[in-house]
Structure 1
Amino acid sequence: MTLTEFAQYARSSSSRERPDDVSSALARRSRVQARVREIGEPVNESAARSEKHDVTVLVVDDEPNLLELVASAVRYEGLNVMTSLNGRGAVDAARTTRPDVVILDVMLPDLSGFEVLRKLHEIDESIPVIFLTARDAVEDRIAGITVGADDYLTKPFNIEELMARVRGLLRRSRHWVEEEHDPTVVVGDLMLNEDSYEVTRGGDEIKLTATEFELLRFLMRNAKKVMSKTQILDHVWHYDFGGEVNVVELYISYLRKKIDHGREPMIHTVRGVGYVLKPAV
């Protein structure tokens, strides 16, 4: 699911209602990997680490579906994410690992978002907080900013706007530095350009579909590391195939035909674990 699809979902959703097709996708997604634990337990998604940024975002919302969508958008940005379904879990998570930004609902089952913000600022008053809430009255916005929030966004919302505000707060707190991007990824004689979407091996151009390109990019960005089918589903399809790992096997076979056919193989199966891409020997 891309950020554009996140935005379409957010625009079409109220804070308490979900379209049937989105609910089905979320149900399928949960079979791939349970991202949200029991209510109150913060989940540290430390595996999603950025090569460029060591930044953690804490997302707090009592709606599991919305919580996971926002967390997925944060991971899509290459940032670490922690999640909590209630206020006390959020405060406990912040005590354990100081977040660089908090995305916080106001209406939580135990503490109000305003109370959570006060407790967060007792831990560290410099933690930036964005309220993300269905409470859209002017007096609510004023109250949110008055108690110390850095930003206030109402539901339904645009996920791209939310992430832009997160980046703005990170820049303001000097945790986000725009770095020069090198679009070229090279593994052995295989080269991929993320800007032009060109792929070559040994100088020969290879035509890939959009999904094949994303799969190859993920494998190349993790060259010499064994990637499980679940990890591939998570990062390439963003759970949309609901645990159907055979789609990974299918697209790996497509890539092998285009990347390895007639050449020394670069894509290898590690039985019972997953796949690894490494330079040909």
Structure 2
Amino acid sequence: MDNKILIIEDEDSIRGFLKINYKKHNFIVIEAATGEEGIAKARIENPEIVLLDIMLPGIDGFQVCEILRKEFSHMGIIMLTAKGQDIDKIKGLENGADDYVLKPFNTMELILRTNSLLRRLGQKDSGERNDTIDSEVFQLDYYSQRVYKHGREILLTPKEFLLLKLFLQNQNKAFTRDELLDKVWGYDFAGDTKIVDVNIRRLRSKIEDKNSQTMYIETVWGTGYRWRKEN
């Protein structure tokens, strides 16, 4: 089955070029030239992936990302950002983006990243088995991509979900940032490891107990992160 991607990009030449290449790789392509148009089409078409430029007329890509993430928790969002704009990358990730790609980009790399994200969202493997993880506090259902803490659902982005799944399956194991990039993002990541730190920070804000000194996700100084094994 073809996968559906929404390209939100105001430059006609870039949008047209992406459309041609994604269609060659069996994607159904929906286009939007503004943030407002992109949000409207996302609500109608419900694409698996959104390719989102930051610099848009009207509301910018950050605002679009924030709105889409609130409405579509399991939608994959890849942001396009100008080379060297680190603050843009971090802000996009904080708003719920799963990945970012620097302009000018290599089209084949972009498509590979899209396919990697799709696989991890479970869209390509219709035979994915129902995999439920139960701990003392959390219940994670991989088939429905739902997470519960003490029976109450927590809304996570796809990358946050995969990080939590990895930690729960490997409690007490210390992961380096490079290991987390490889296991969660699933490719030879061309950017820096800030993407891991931002996603960990977001995940912590959603799952940690407020006003508690005990943390589920511990920082391992000089290494990375580990999940504190639940008693």
Q: Report the TM-score, using the length of structure 1 for normalisation.
A: 0.43
- Does 2:77 align with 1:129? yes
- Match of residue 65, structure 2, among 108, 113, 117: 117
- Structure 2 match to 1:141: 89
Query: Equivalent residue for 1:86?
Result: 34
Superposed, which structure 2 residues align to 1:90-109 within 5 Å? 90-109=38-57
Q: CA deviation at 1:58?
A: 0.3
What is the Cα deviation at residue 135 of structure 1? 5.5
Matches of 1:109 and 1:165 in 2, distance apart? 26
Gaps of 5+ in 2: 128-231
Q: TM-score, normalised by structure 2?
A: 0.53
SS at match of 1:109: coil
RMSD of Structure 2 on Structure 1 (CA): 1.7
- Residue 92 of structure 1 deviates from its aligned partner by 0.4
Paired AA for residue 132 in structure 1: L
Question: Whose radius of gyration is greater, 1 or 2?
Answer: 1
Counterpart AA for 1:59: I
SS in structure 2 of the partner of residue 169 of structure 1 = helix
Aligned length: 127
Which residue of structure 2 aligns with residue 64 of structure 1?
Answer: 12
Please state which structure has a larger fraction of its residues in strand.
Answer: 2
Distance in 1 between the 2:83 and 2:37 partners? Answer: 22
Structure 1 residue 146 displacement after superposition: 1.4
Q: Percent identity?
A: 33
Matched, 1:77 2:28: no
Query: CA deviation digits over 1:182-227, x for unaligned, max 9?
Result: xxxxxxxxxxxxxxxxxxxxxxxxxxxxxxxxxxxxxxxxxxxxxx
Instruction: Indicate conservation of the 8 Å contact 2:82/2:104, yes or no.
Output: yes
> What 5-or-longer segments of structure 1 have no aligned partner?
1-52, 180-281
Report how far residue 123 of structure 1 moved.
2.2
Which SS does the other structure have where 2:68 is aligned? helix
Structure 1 residues 116, 95: CA separation in 2 closer, same or farther (over 3 Å shift)? Answer: same
State the alpha-carbon separation in 2 of the partners of residues 113 and 135 from structure 1.
16
Q: Distance between the aligned counterparts of 1:136 and 1:116, measured in 2?
A: 21
- The 2-side partners of 1:146 and 1:62 are apart by 23
Q: Deviations over 1:130-180 (max 9, x none)?
A: 00122632222111111111001111110000000000110011112499x
> Is 2:2–2:26's contact at 8 Å kept on the other side of the alignment?
no
Residues 18-56 of structure 1, C-alpha deviation per residue, up to 9 Å, x if partnerless? Answer: xxxxxxxxxxxxxxxxxxxxxxxxxxxxxxxxxxx2320
Superposed structure 1 runs of 4+ greater than 3 Å apart: none
* Amino acid across the alignment from 2:116: G
- Secondary structure (helix, strand or coil) at the match of 1:162 reads helix
Letter in structure 1 aligned against 2:88: D
Q: Secondary structure at the match of 2:78?
A: strand
Residue 54 (1) aligns with residue 2 (2): yes
Kindly state the Cα deviation for residue 108 of structure 1 after the two structures are TM-superposed: 0.2
Quote the residue 2:218 is aligned against.
none
In the alignment, the residues of structure 1 paired with residue 51 and residue 24 of structure 2 have an alpha-carbon distance, to the nearest angstrom, of: 16
The 2-side partners of 1:147 and 1:174 are apart by 22
Give the Cα–Cα distance (whole angstroms) in 2 for the partners of residues 85 and 130 of structure 1. Answer: 16
The 5-angstrom pairing of residues 90-239 of structure 1 reads 90-134=38-82, 136-177=84-125
Instruction: Work out which structure has the larger RCO, using CA pairs closer than 8 Å and 6 or more positions apart in sequence.
Output: 1
Quick one: structure 1 residues 145 and 80, their matched pair in 2 at CA, closer, same or farther if it must change by over 3 Å? same
